[in-house]
A and B are shown apart, each in its own frame.
Chain A
Amino acid sequence: MSAARDLVGVAVNGLLARKVRTALLLLGPVIGVAAIVAAVGLTDSAKGDLKRKVDELGTNLIEATAASSFGGQDAKLPKDAVERARTVTTVESVSAVLELQNIVVTPYEEAAENFETVPVPVLAADTLLPGVLDVPMVSGRWLNEFDDGVSSRAAVIGIGLARQFDVLPGEVRSLLLNGIEYSVIGIVDGVELEPAFDTAVFITFQRAADDFLPDEAVDGDVVLANKLYVRSVENREDETAEALKVAVNLGGPNEVQTELKSEALELAAQSDRQLQLIVVSMGLLAIIVGGIGIANVMSISVIQRSTEIGIRRALGHTRGTIAAQFILEAIAVGFFGGLLGVAVGVGAIAIGVTVAGWVFTLQPMLVPLGVVLAMVISVVAGLYPATRAARLEPLETLRLG
């Protein structure tokens, strides 16, 4: 233990005594590690806002859609699709919707001509949809079970449509669906994973059946949905999606297609791997060249310090301690060069992020990784000079007599 402490003291003294040389030694690892950290950090930060969005929205939203095996347009899910979906153990919550076709939405009669050409999606939805999509109300409330029973017609609209129709929050408003007047009872916020909902109108299944659907769309007293939104347990999305296909369909005539809603967003949030690879390679090259520099400078240093080495040998220091002294200097250069390189790299990311308006993103593993890489390169570079130092014969360096 005490020998190790002595060694550290000697190595630190050796480095501090020749500050310019030590600075030169540090340059290689600093530049290399800084380049690598900055390269990875900047390419990550460029997509930082998307990455954060993925984290926020969660990656576990699955859409299960009915699809006709024979290419029919009007495929429906079985009537107990929601219950069947809940039998999948990795399912957390389920909501059913039905996309209604050919409904013209207008804010009021007189404006019909202006709005007929703008397609507005109209959906029949159950009471659970906002919970499953994790989307808040901007004003008013979502549809509830009483809206099914009463004779008044209630609709919830997306925030985008509200802006389009100039609906003020809290304003008593109605709109026309194929000329039938519906009261707007709430405005729902935008759904990142389902942008079409921004401009959609939501009504209850019962209303949809009464006002718009043909009789065959109703099985018994249940209105058939054509789409499920499902939240799965985190990180079990793929197997949940597979299980849903089987569980919802159960051998029925229509197929069920599933889609992970966050997949496209995740893809968009992926860093530019090619660019990252190129810059990281350049960083690696820099650190290797830096390592060669270390080997060079230390070899010269061994020649310059041959007398010191001879003195130490004459004082009884073994070859091992001489070699260890130089290796330790290399380790210190790698450690501090690595730390400094990480600091410079983080600084570069911070500047780049500020200039470009990105979101600062740094994988924490890069910090220890950068330091360890610098240390490994430095030690490898220090091996040859250290061996040479240990082999020096004191008699040859001290010039006796």
Chain B
Amino acid sequence: MDDTPVSSPAPLLELDRVSRLYGHGDAAVAALKEVSLQIMPGDFMSIMGPSGSGKSTMLGLLGCLDVPSSGVIRVGGVDVTELDDDDRSRVRGDRIGFVFQQFHLIPHLDAVSNVETALLYRGIRPKDRRARSLAALDQVGLAHRHDHRPVQLSGGEQQRVALARALVTEPSIVLGDEPTGALDSKNAEHVMEIFASLQAPERAIVLVTHDPAVGEAAHRRVRMRDGSIVADERAVPT
């Protein structure tokens, strides 16, 4: 199973025989069954599978939004299943950047304030926070629209603001949940280009999707079915 060389770097995130059950006793349904997965620095990974395959459950666990029923999840070597909610929140804020299908920007805040939200409560001075957020917006090509509110932005622009928000904390893992699902093909392409450009040796990008076009853009393709990983291939992106 484990074909990585001994000298390879430590995984950024690791699932070790992780199961997630919903419900109790006989009525319990296993959404994830003893899944093991290592996300390595530099990975550009897609996780694909039909509805009900456990993708969403997987996403919640990878994003430290959920805890497994059994097994261990390590983020940067730290067992997050042992952490309390506050510490897990901090790990999430420090290590993981989310990009959602529905963008999930805060509607009453302008673009730069939305990006800044990811930097709150970290002891960063407001001036520095704003500068970093503007830089992140610049990275996705939206610095000039920093004072626009989400309703004043197109879907593609909103998703790019969300991308800037995910990047501004310099996370080791960028986690995308169907990031192009709500976009037209042109905007989807643009967003995928940005994802591709985010590849870096110290960072991993993980996209959970059922869109083959998105899945095949990745170098490492994980396929799921019925709560298990059925394939984990490395490929040259098409």
Contacts and interface: CB of A to CB of B under 8 A. Distances in A.
A317 B56 contact: no
Q: How large is the interface on A (under 10, 10 to 19, 20 to 34, 35 or more residues)?
A: 20 to 34
B59 A401 contact: yes
A316 interface: yes
A314 B56 contact: no
A400 B102 CA distance: 9
A252 to B, nearest CB: 83
A2 B125 contact: yes
Nearest to A2: B123
B189 to A, nearest CB: 22
Contact of B85 (A3, A7, A319): A319
B76 interface: no
B234 interface: no
Nearest to A319: B85
Interface string A34-76: 0000000000000000000000000000000000000000000
Contact of A18 (B89, B90, B108, B177): B108
B68 to A, nearest CB: 13
Given A401-B178, A401-B208, A316 B92 contact: yes
A364 B85 CA distance: 47
A314 B85 contact: no
B56 A401 contact: yes
A79 interface: no
Contact of A318 (B60, B85, B117, B177): B85
Contacts of A321: 120-121
B108 A13 contact: yes
Given A2-B123, A10-B120, A13-B113, A400 B60 contact: yes
Contact of A317 (B59, B93, B126, B177): B93
B177 A400 contact: yes
Given A2-B125, A13-B109, A399-B102, A316 B56 contact: no
Given A318-B85, A318-B89, A395 B120 contact: no
Q: Indicate the member of A9, A314, A320 with the most B CB atoms within 10 Å.
A: A314
A316 B98 CA distance: 10
A92 interface: no
A84 interface: no
Contacts of A312: 106, 117
Nearest to A310: B104
Interface in B73-115: 85-86, 89-90, 92-94, 98, 100, 102, 104-109, 113
A318 B65 contact: no
A9 B126 CA distance: 10
A199 B143 CA distance: 90
A399 B169 CA distance: 23
B55 interface: yes
B117 A315 contact: yes
B27 interface: no
B179 to A, nearest CB: 12
A311 B165 CA distance: 11
A400 B100 contact: yes
A173 interface: no
Nearest to A307: B104
Interface in A308-341: 308, 310-321
A14 B93 CA distance: 21
Interface in A348-401: 393-395, 398-401
Nearest to A305: B106
A20 interface: no
A401 B101 CA distance: 8
Interface string A1-16: 0110111011001100
B100 A316 contact: no
A17 interface: yes
B165 A316 contact: no
A128 to B, nearest CB: 72
A17 B109 CA distance: 8
A1 to B, nearest CB: 9
A392 B87 CA distance: 17
A317 B102 contact: no
Given A2-B124, A316-B92, A400-B60, 19 more contacts: A3-B121, A9-B126, A13-B108, A13-B113, A14-B108, A311-B106, A313-B65, A314-B104, A315-B93, A315-B165, A316-B94, A316-B118, A316-B169, A317-B93, A318-B85, A318-B86, A320-B86, A395-B66, A398-B104
Interface of A: 2-3, 5-7, 9-10, 13-14, 17-18, 307-308, 310-321, 393-395, 398-401
17 contacts: A2-B123, A9-B126, A13-B108, A307-B104, A311-B105, A313-B65, A314-B65, A315-B93, A315-B98, A315-B117, A315-B165, A316-B93, A316-B118, A316-B169, A317-B121, A318-B86, A319-B85
Across the A-B interface, give the 5 residue pairs with the lowest CB-CB distance, nearest first.
A316-B93, A401-B56, A17-B108, A318-B89, A6-B120
